[in-house]
Structure 1
């Protein structure tokens, strides 16, 4: 009898778990898509795509001249733009379910200390992104549109295109949502050991410059919106440094804690 193991026997123990992971991934994706689909169906009937677009356009319409409205320069824009907003809103509303499916898929393969690291980051990054979007909608948009309309000459009648407005809104939402993720970036970099807490503290002055440069690039050329993006970034940077110190202490691997105790005992 040959001592060489059969190739089929070698793969017999690994093929089934791999297939099971693929099946589970498929099921998780289907559940996430179903959640988005159910929310989209509900939003389609109440409040409806048109109402969602009116809600999104409200900050701009409030600052347009009396009688002015948004226009559609494409034949299918009145249908496609509200539909895009409907899908975007459905995804945001269903985001907790989507993130839960992601968490349920990866959690079984994580150690206990890694679970302590991942779950708080997923929850906090989601909340911070929503905070950035809400801050942009409720505060920044009003200031930006008031500045733009106040600066426009009297001979110009504003009639923004709905697709251009949607593109502008998505860009601003993304910019503020990502900007509010600064604490997460600080915590992750510090926890992975790529950047020390002391380095982050010494980088404060440079980060302020970076924050204002980013704000000048991604926001309209008015002081209010640039300050509205740069100042929260600077504050959130300090929050990130504070959170990283706490987070590192509570998410250490058991071996790391044992090594530290040995080092303290030796000293």
Structure 2
């Protein structure tokens, strides 16, 4: 075991909670998240119109040949209850986005009892970076989606008129955006695991070939289309983020080694 590992091991961890205490803590955290999301969804309900207009833009920006018979980007409701369902779905997604910091903070607070005092200092960076990475992922999806839409609609051929359902279109856009947002959270999780000493930069480097294959599989599942160019748009940033997590893990380890060396030199004087 290295000096840095010894220093990390010697840090005092809080007493472990019982199963009942863990369940009570989980219930409290979940209740707070539900209340926060519900409050955010109320806001989302009233900003439905501008949000729907924003969600429609990838479709409206396509060439007129890919849109309806008049070249417009109109969407249609196919069932009586669809307007309510679509509005509720948009309200929920807006609520989740607005209260994401609360969600990430509650997740962090749930794992904090098992962390040392030094590890708890990562609370604010974790919450801020979680929101940032999720937003970047969703924004990246918004850039990639138009290409996927054009490809999918183009498969119908020239003899077919495009008439998209609001419910299916909104689900497609929001599901893709959320999936991209979650994928962009993976590097942050890896950095957190490195910060608490569960994984190392060496382990991440050794896993790199498997990570690239896994990235390709995830890209194939998440991207709207299966064409190589669109998948490359997803694989490239995922690979870059993985390399970034390796660098961050290495910097954390270097800081830990320097701190352990300083402690060792102080005790020998």
- Partner of residue 54, structure 1: 53
- Say if 1:183 and 1:260 are closer, same or farther in 2 by CA, change over 3 A: farther
Larger Cα Rg: Structure 1 or Structure 2? 1
2:98 to 80, 93, 99: 93
Q: Aligned-residue CA RMSD in angstroms?
A: 3.5
Alpha-carbon distance in structure 1 between the residues aligned to 2:194 and 2:32: 34
1:261 to 248, 264, 267: 264
Tell me the TM-score normalised to structure 1 length.
0.73
- Partner of residue 40, structure 1: 41
Tell me the TM-score normalised to structure 2 length.
0.72
Alpha-carbon distance in structure 1 between the residues aligned to 2:233 and 2:121: 33
1:213 paired to 2:217: yes
Long gaps (5+) in structure 2: 1-19
Shift of 1:217: 2.7
Alpha-carbon distance in structure 1 between the residues aligned to 2:103 and 2:171: 24
- Partner of residue 243, structure 1: 248
2:161 to 157, 162, 182: 157
* Greater mean alpha carbon deviation, residues 217-226 or residues 76-85: 217-226
1:115 paired to 2:120: yes
Long gaps (5+) in structure 1: 1-17
1:222 to 224, 227, 235: 227
For this pair of structures, how many residues does the alignment match?
A: 239
Alpha-carbon distance in structure 2 between the residues aligned to 1:98 and 1:192: 21
What are the Cα deviations for residues 61-80 of structure 1, in whole angstroms up to 9, with x where unaligned? 33224035322222201121
- Say if 1:83 and 1:194 are closer, same or farther in 2 by CA, change over 3 A: same
- Partner of residue 6, structure 2: none
